[in-house]
Amino acid sequence: MYSIAIHGGAGAVPRHTLSAERETHYRDGLAAALDLGYAVLEKGGSSLDAVTAAVRTLEENPLFNAGRGAALTQDGAAELDAAIMEGRQQRAGAVAAVRHVRNPIELARRVMEKSRHVLLVGSGAEEFALEEGLELVPNTWFRTEERRAQLESERSGRPVSDLVPSSQGTVGAVALDAAGDLAAATSTGGMTNKRQGRVGDSPIVGAGTYAKNGVCAVSATGHGEYFIRAVAAHHICAAVEYRGLTLREAVYDLLRKRLPELGGKGGVIAIDRGGGIVTEFSTEGMFRGARDSSGLRKIDIY
């Protein structure tokens, strides 16, 4: 059994404002990432390679809030966070507040595989990217007209989604490969109008991203401050491991109990040790996709 799930952010676009044409673009973007990740698993590749490929594809797609198309900071720049974790040895790598790395998920993976560290931020992370020969781009490369308009609307007090302040489109992937290894990856531009230097849950191991073989792999999306305080991804895996909840029960426990207690909302994608996929959210929608070796393949928004 092998399986993969991806998300393109919770919050979605309010249903009444999403045109059929735009919905098709979102679905196509999700399908491309899902199928690319699945192809890795199908060829006997690792869950780590599958989630890297899926997230990288979404980073390249300007519709999503990661890599190109990232949400913009107060000062109008893109500042990116990403993390990756594998479940066998529970190695992890993450980067935060980088402004020039074209694919932050690749840098997170290098941090995991080529450095002695787990989390590198800002200029130190970018120095490491240079040393590793990763592609660096001017910050303008990430900025889209749409994100500029969102920043303007946030500044004028009209948030664009049901997440306040708005984000939309963080991306993530979780996978189980044929060898039984789990992996999770998340990448984001964070939240529109965030302060410079603000770091969300995505690159924080246990908050936005977590994987442990025999238990589960989780990638989260939503208002990051709450996900950090709830240690959301770990909360789910701990509920499975120590309280004996099913993955679905554990996800509900987070989204319907723990996060509301704190005042937060969002969504998660998760896979259990048997490859069972759960995708749930407490927002209006969550861009998401799931595919497994038993023939499941679906893309959903609401």
Which residue is catalytic, options 52, 57, 73, 170?
170
Tokens read off for 65: 């809030």
Provide, rounded to whole angstroms, the least separation between the CB of residue 38 and ligand ASP: 23
Q: Residues 6 or more apart from 126 whose CB is under 8 A from it?
A: 98, 99, 100, 101, 136
Q: Does 219 bind ligand ASP (CB under 6 A)?
A: no
Candidate ranges 22-30, 35-43, 52-60, 184-192; the one touching ligand ASP (CB under 6 A): 184-192
Least distance from ligand ASP to the Cβ atom of residue 229, Å = 12
d(CA 301, CA 207): 23
Position of tokens 């490491």? 128
Q: Catalytic: 246?
A: no
Interaction between residue 280 and ligand ASP (CB under 6 A): no
Decide if residue 161 touches ligand ASP (CB under 6 A).
no
Among 170, 187, 213, 279, binds ligand ASP (CB under 6 A): 170
Across 81-117, b (16+ Cβ under 10 Å) vs e yields bbbbbbbbeeebbbbbbbbbbbbbbbbbbbbbeeeee
Does the footprint of ligand ASP cover residue 283 (CB under 6 A)?
no
- Nearer residue to ligand ASP within complex by CB, 12 or 41: 12
Q: How many CB atoms lie within 10 A of CB 193?
A: 22
Name the β-bridge partners of 36: none
Of 4, 8, 9, 79, the one binding ligand ASP (CB under 6 A) is: 9
Q: What is the spatial distance between Cα 133 and Cα 58, in angstroms, rounded to a whole number?
A: 21
Which residue number, 30 or 40, has a Cβ lying nearer to ligand ASP?
30
**Phi, psi (degrees; rounded to nearest 5) at 30:** -65, -45
Residue 154 interacts with ligand ASP (CB under 6 A): yes or no: no
Q: How far apart are the first and last CA of the chain?
A: 27
267: enclosing H helix or E strand = strand 266-272
Of 93, 222, 275, 285, the residue at the interface with ligand ASP (CB under 6 A) is 222
Closest by Cα among 42, 283, 85, 23 to 177: 42
Q: Which of 3, 188, 219, 283 binds ligand ASP (CB under 6 A)?
A: 188
Closer to ligand ASP by CB, 132 or 284: give it. Answer: 284
- Regarding 279 and contact with ligand ASP (CB under 6 A), the answer is no
Q: Is 201 in the site for ligand ASP (CB under 6 A)?
A: yes
- Cβ of residue 263: shortest distance to ligand ASP, in angstroms? 14
List, by residue number, the catalytic residues: 170
